[in-house]
Every structure is written in C-alpha cells, then in structure tokens.
Amino acid sequence: MNLLKNKDLLRNLLYQGDQLNTLGGGVTQIDFSIENLDDGFSIMVNAPSIEAEQLKVISDQNSLQIFATIIHPAVNSGVVIPLFYRKVELPIFANTDDVDAVHHDNRLEIFVPIGKNSRNNKKEVNIKQI
C-alpha cells in the first residue's frame, strides 16, 4: 500500500498528529484548590490556556464534575478531546442544586452552598463570564 496515494489516510494521520501536539504542548498546568467556608465550599480552577467555552461543570447529588474539552475547528467530525477532568466528592449537606460558577481572568470560581438538595438528577451548571 502506497501511503502517499491514500489521501484520506494521510489527512487522518495529520489530524491525529495535530491533536496529539495540541494535547502534549498546548495546555499549561491547571491549578485546582478547594476551600471550606462557613456557608459552603469554594473551588478554584486556574486554567490559563483554556477558554471559558471549553469548561463544563456538571452537578450531581453529592459530587461535581469539572472538565474541559476541545473540538478541532477545522474538522467537523464531532470528535471531542478532553483537556482535563476532575470529580469532586462533596458531603451530604452540600447543596448541588444551587451551584454558582463564574469565569474571569482565566480562572473558574465555583461556590457550592450548604443546604438540602431538592432533586437527585444531574445538571450542567451555567458558567457566568465576567
């Protein structure tokens, strides 16, 4: 098989190389910290190389899933590549229904208040941008 004649294979190999290069060298280290407050929990994610649109926060009954993904803009294949993922287990008295998330200055600040959960389903938290 002559690789130079198979343009689809070459295009896919170049696309994979581009994605691996982005993952290997295109993301700076992400700092993650959790602080206990009197009225809840503060979670800080410092991600200088990640845009606000790439960040997602999913609240569940006793946990938060915080992650970022990248979709290659040139290829419309629906391939999503994870940049980072962190699951935070929370105590039973954390109110994951009223989670507040704000993104500003390359930093994601999440506040989880203390209270009672009213429902048990997963939902995506709306991230406000300042």
pLDDT tens-place string over residues 53-72:
889 999 987 899 999 887 76
β-pairing verdict for 107-113 and 63-71:
unpaired
Q: Considering only 13-22, 70-79, 90-99, which range has the smallest mean pLDDT?
A: 70-79
Domain assignment of residue 95, yes or no:
yes
Q: Report residue 95 as tokens.
A: 């109110």
* Position 112 pLDDT exceeds 90: yes
Instruction: At 45, give phi and psi (nearest 5°).
Output: -120, 110
Number of C-beta neighbours around residue 67 at 10 A:
15
Is residue 59 one of the residues assigned to a domain? yes
Its domain, for residue 78, covers: 30-129
CATH number at residue 69: 2.60.40.790
Residue 25's pLDDT is 56
Do the domain assignments include residue 57? yes
Does residue 12 form part of some domain?
A: no
Q: Are 16 and 3 in contact (CB under 8 A)?
A: no
Q: Helix, strand or coil for residue 77?
A: coil
Residue 48: inside a domain, yes or no?
yes
Query: Looking at the domain assignment, is residue 9 inside a domain?
Result: no
More confident residue, 81 or 112: 112
Report yes or no on 23 lying in a domain. Answer: no
- Count the Cβ atoms, other than its own, within 10 Å of residue 47: 23
Is residue 5 predicted with pLDDT exceeding 60? yes
Give the mean model confidence (pLDDT) for residues 74-92: 78
How many domains does one find in the chain?
1
Whether residue 72 lies inside any domain: the answer is: yes
* Mean pLDDT, range 74-78, rounded to an integer: 62
Using DSSP bridges, classify how beta strands 100-104 and 107-113 pair: parallel, antiparallel or unpaired. Answer: antiparallel
Take residue 121 and report the two structure tokens written for it. 């389903």
Report whether pLDDT(23) > 60.
no
